[in-house]
Structure formats: C-alpha cells, structure tokens
Copies of this chain bind each other. A is one copy, B any other.
Amino acid sequence: MRIVVPAGGIGGARFLRGLKATIKGGAGNNDDESTITVIGNTGDDITLFGLRICPDLDTVMYTLGDGINEAQGWGRSDETFVVKEELAAYGMQPTWFGLGDRDVATHIVRSQMMAAGYPLSAVTGALCDRWKPGVQLLPMTDDRVETHVLVEDGEGRRAIHFQEWWIRHRAALPASEIVLVGAEEAEPAPGVLEEIARADIVLLPPSNPVVSIGSILSVPGIRQALNDSVVVGVSPMIGGTAVRGMADACLAAINVESTAQAVAEHYGPDLLDGWLVDDVDADAHVKGTEIRSCPLYMSDPEATAAIAREALDLALELKRRQT
C-alpha cells in the first residue's frame, strides 16, 4: 500500500508517527510493503544569519527520527543555545527565533549543500540519511516560496514573514491576508506529482489548513493531483477551536470559521473524500464528503496511532467503494 501525506510541522509529524505505528502493527491492511511519502510544507522556511531553515521538514525529520524535543514538539532533544546567545551578544537580529545549537548544525549542512547547488529535495534526502525517518520526505517544491502575513498595528500596514508573525507576535497581531510569495511560479519538487499519482490513498493530518496544508495546495499541480486521489483528512478543529497552536488566527485571516465543518468546506469535496472529526463534531455535514467521528486528541502516541488507524480505515473503505 502506498500512502501519501501532505504535512506541516508538529501536528503532521505526530500524526505520521501514529501512522507509522499503525502500519507496523498491521492495521488497515497486512501489507508489510506499505510506504509513506510525506510532502512537507516549505512555506514557512526562512533564511536567518545566512542559514536556510526549514522548520516543518525538520520537525517531521526529527520527530520520526527520534531526535525531537518531545515536550516542545519542535527542535532537538537535549538542545543548547550557545550560538543564539553569542549572536545576540554581537547585536545580531532577530533574537526571537529559537535557534538551538544542534539545530544550527542541520542548517549549516543544508545551507552549504544549497550553496553548492543541490536542490532542497536532494538536501532533505541527505539529511534523512542520518535520521532515517522511515518515510520518504519530499519538500512540496524546490523553489523558494515564503508565507508572508499582512498585518496592521501602530507601525502601520505591512507584510512580515510568517515566522515573525507566528513566533515574535504569537499570531496576536490581526492578519488581514496571508500570501504565499513565489507560489504561483513554483513547481512541485521531483517525485511529488508522481507519488500522488501512484498513491493508493492520501491522508491529510490535522496540520494547519492555511499555512501548512494550504501552502502545499498552493503549489500549481498539487491540488489537481490530489483531487484525483482518495483523500481523507483529519480535522485540526475540535468543538470550534484549534486542537493546538494558533490555527484559529490563520483561519480568521481567510474568513473561515474555526470549526471542523468550516475547514472541510474550505478544503471542499473535490479534494476531500473523507473527513475525520471528533465525536463532539459528529453532526458536521458536507455534501460529497464522508464524515466519520472518533476522539481526535493526539494526547499520546497510542491515541495518535488510533486516530491514524481510523483515517486509514476510512480511506481504504472509500478506496474499495471507488473500485
């Protein structure tokens, strides 16, 4: 069985860990040859201090490679922050980005390879040679696209990088628009469309629908390819609020309510064949999308594996119905 998972950062990485556990346990099917291809969001990538940083790719890689800071959900375990302190001592800006020493090494390797001419997809493959995440991790694109957020405050109306809005301002500055700069001209990275085309099923983890999944869908060609596939999504909203993170602020910026139903409608039935919601949202109804409910809190690896199994089972059922 071939599974494709477009994924953002923390939520996507944890869902993937549950999915891996479920597949290993033989759930959904008994095919040991199952493969998972992850299409990672690169819209929140940023260059700081001359280092190319890919937060979502790294979160997936560290989480599946057992290198993640478990409590935090991002960054390396046993992390130190000496380089960050020293950069601040030199007066370097910005100081709000959590740049750990172990993490810096990843960015140095990536930056050096990219300076030598390797595309991000090749660099990601090389980094994964160390981490062995057990999935094929592809960036959505090798082209540079960057999520910018249109905000307005005492300093006036301006566009800032998503990371500045997300981390520095904790998404508290009201955003009037979210723009993925460069997306229109971007091409899917090598393998992305091919893997979607030959996938048996596609699962959307409970990643941010706007700046994670939304960014991936913005790369020309990807959404069309997904429309032709069996896609089951897991709602990132439970009972009218984001399960974790600040996805509500992103949805507000694009005038979408923070409900499981509204997110499913935003994705649309062309994309979404099935939609897994929490039991509290069992009354959600979207024409053309099969809705199923179960407890959706990814409170621990076992609960997360159970959610992944539900999504997998629904997708396989829809796939069987199709054929």
Instruction: Give the interface of A toward B (CB within 8 A).
Output: 49-51, 80, 82-83, 85-87, 89-92, 101-102, 104-106, 108-109, 111-112, 115, 127, 129-130
A sample of 21 cross-chain residue pairs with beta-carbon separation below 8 angstroms, ordered by A number, consists of A49-B112, A50-B108, A50-B111, A50-B112, A51-B108, A80-B80, A80-B101, A82-B82, A83-B83, A83-B104, A83-B108, A86-B101, A86-B106, A87-B109, A89-B105, A89-B130, A90-B106, A91-B129, A92-B109, A101-B101, A104-B104
Smallest Cβ-Cβ distance to A100: which chain B residue = B82
Q: Is the CB of A108 within 8 A of B87?
A: yes
B112 adjacent to A83 (CB under 8 Å)? no
Which B residues touch A109, using CB under 8 A?
49, 87, 90, 92
CA distance A50 to B50 in the complex (A): 10
Q: Across the interface, which residues of B come within 8 angstroms of A91, CB to CB? A: 129-130
Number of copies: 2
CB distance from A6 to the nearest CB of B (A): 26
**Interface residue from B105, B111, B112, B129 paired with A86 (Cβ < 8 Å):** B105
Check A105 against B130 for contact (C-beta < 8 Å). no
How far apart are A257's CB and chain B's nearest CB, in angstroms? 43
A112 contacts across to B, CB distance below 8 A: 49-50
> Are A87 and B105 CB-contacts (below 8 A) given A50-B115, A80-B80, A82-B80?
yes
Can you name the residue of chain B whose Cβ is closest to the Cβ of A112?
Answer: B50
Which B residues touch A127, using CB under 8 A? 90
A105 touches B80 (CB 8 A): no
Q: Complex formed: what's the CA distance from A91 to B126 in Å?
A: 10
Give A90 to B108 CA distance when docked, in angstroms: 11
A75 to chain B, nearest CB (A): 13
Q: Indicate if the CB atoms of A83 and B101 lie closer than 8 Å.
A: yes
Whether B83 lies near A130 (C-beta < 8 A) is no
Q: Give the top 4 A-B pairs by smallest Cβ distance, nearest first.
A: A86-B105, A82-B101, A50-B112, A83-B105
Complex Cα–Cα for A115 and B111 (A): 13
A157 to chain B, nearest CB (A): 28
A87 proximity list for chain B (CB < 8 A): 105, 108-109
A166 → B minimal CB distance (Å): 23
Determine the residue in chain B with the shortest Cβ distance to A92: B109
